[in-house]
């Protein structure tokens, strides 16, 4: 009598594994977030609106999300260019350049912020050339965009590289043989293939920039209503012992982050369907 062979699994059974997973996620994610929601729930609706919709807080939203959107757009354009060069061209120092893309992942964010503030200050290597022309980067909202661009670049490059590697060069040659120009080849052949992953990289870079703190505070100037990001405002309220105000603003950022993560997952699912189709 033949018995069906059971699939052998390295990890324990589903029940045990699921139990450990839920416990671990509850310990490091769900319990802290639940405390945040419970603390905010103790506020009245008027107090909550006053905390999350005051002019200073709204200005911080505008700075944070506006700068993150601009930085993600910049990374979408130049990140795609960097990914294309790293995949399609072989040149001296290519491996070093490829490794440098991941440098924002390895460096502490404070180091990135201090370095950018030094380089783009009036006496810095780059700032000294820009300052005479009336272009000021350090301690302005432009500095926030620069910092967010630096920390978001790897997300776009690493998302696009596998897709570009899968595009066969024969596809471009076929388009050229049919009389398509380089722009037409990119627009009608390459871009539709790269678009889903490019959108995913854009969303990842945007979400990362919204939650950034360490690399921004050293170059932003941190002026209320001008160059103050929401993360810094939360820290400021905690230092002032305004725990209710801090948790209320943090809850707004939590909801925004959840929505962005949901959009990223939907984009990734769509990207897989397009690739498989």
The mean pLDDT of the chain is 86
Residue 31 lies in a domain: no
Tell me the pLDDT tens digit for each residue of 169-199: 788 788 888 888 888 888 888 888 888 889 8
Q: pLDDT confidence of 8, banded at 50, 70, 90?
A: low
Residue 73 confidence (pLDDT): 95
Q: pLDDT by residue (tens digit) across 35-93?
A: 778 878 778 888 889 889 999 999 999 999 999 999 999 999 999 999 999 998 888 98
Residue 30: predicted pLDDT = 78
Q: Which tokens belong to 265?
A: 């997952």
pLDDT at 260: 82
Res. 275: pLDDT tops 70: no
> How many Cβ atoms are within 10 Å of 273's Cβ, its own excluded?
10
What pLDDT digit, counting tens, does each position of 11-31 carry? 556 667 777 788 888 888 778
Supply the pLDDT for residue 9. Answer: 57
Q: Specify if 15 maps to a domain.
A: no
110 vs 10: CA distance, rounded Å = 41
Would 49 be classed as within a structural domain?
Answer: no
Tell me, yes or no, whether 138 lies in a domain: yes
What pLDDT band is residue 277 in, cutting at 50, 70 and 90?
low
Segment 109-125 shows an average pLDDT of 90
Confidence tier at 141 by pLDDT (50, 70, 90): very high
CA–CA distance, 55 with 53 (Å, rounded to integer)? 6
For residue 80, tell me if it sits in a domain: yes
The CATH number that applies at residue 178 is 1.10.3720.10
CB 218 within 8 A of CB 114: yes
Residue range of the domain that includes 84: 63-228
Q: What is the pLDDT of residue 258?
A: 83
Look at residue 117 and tell me whether its pLDDT is greater than 60. yes
**For residue 270, what pLDDT is reported?**
75
274 vs 21: CA distance, rounded Å: 31
Average confidence (pLDDT) over 121-147 = 90
* Residues near 151 by beta carbon (within 8 Å), at least 6 away in sequence: 104, 109, 112, 208, 209, 212, 215
Number of domains in the chain: 1
Residue 15 has what pLDDT? Answer: 66
133 in any annotated domain? yes
Q: Where are the alpha helices (DSSP H) in 42-54?
A: 45-52
Structure confidence at residue 259 (pLDDT): 86
Q: Is residue 51 part of a domain?
A: no
218 in a domain, yes or no?
A: yes
Residues 193-220, mean pLDDT to the nearest whole number? 89
């Amino acid at each position: 009598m033949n018995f069906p062979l059971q699939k052998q699994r390295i990890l324990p059974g589903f029940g045990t594994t699921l139990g450990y997973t839920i416990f671990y996620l509850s310990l490091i994610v769900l319990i802290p977030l639940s405390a945040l929601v419970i603390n905010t729930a103790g506020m009245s609706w008027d107090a909550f609106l006053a905390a999350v919709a005051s002019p200073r807080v709204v200005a911080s939203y505008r700075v944070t999300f506006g700068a993150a959107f601009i930085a993600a757009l910049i990374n979408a354009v130049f990140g795609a260019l960097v990914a294309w060069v790293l995949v399609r061209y072989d040149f001296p120092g290519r491996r070093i350049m490829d490794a440098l893309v991941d440098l924002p992942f390895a460096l502490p964010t404070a180091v990135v912020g201090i370095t950018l503030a030094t380089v783009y200050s009036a006496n810095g290597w780059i700032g000294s050339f820009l300052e005479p022309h009336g272009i000021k980067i350090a301690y302005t909202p432009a500095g926030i965009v620069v910092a967010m661009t630096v920390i978001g670049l790897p997300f776009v490059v690493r998302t696009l590289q596998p897709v570009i590697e899968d595009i066969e060069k024969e596809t471009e040659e076929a388009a050229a043989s049919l009389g398509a120009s380089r722009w037409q080849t990119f627009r009608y052949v390459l871009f539709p293939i790269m678009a889903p992953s490019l959108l995913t990289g854009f969303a990842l870079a945007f979400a990362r920039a919204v939650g950034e703190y360490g690399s921004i505070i050293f170059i932003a100037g941190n002026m209320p209503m001008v160059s103050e990001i929401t993360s810094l405002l939360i820290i400021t309220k905690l230092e002032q012992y305004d725990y209710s105000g801090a948790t209320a603003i943090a809850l707004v950022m939590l909801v925004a982050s959840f929505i962005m993560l949901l959009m990223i997952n939907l984009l990734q699912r769509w990207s897989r369907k397009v690739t498989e189709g």
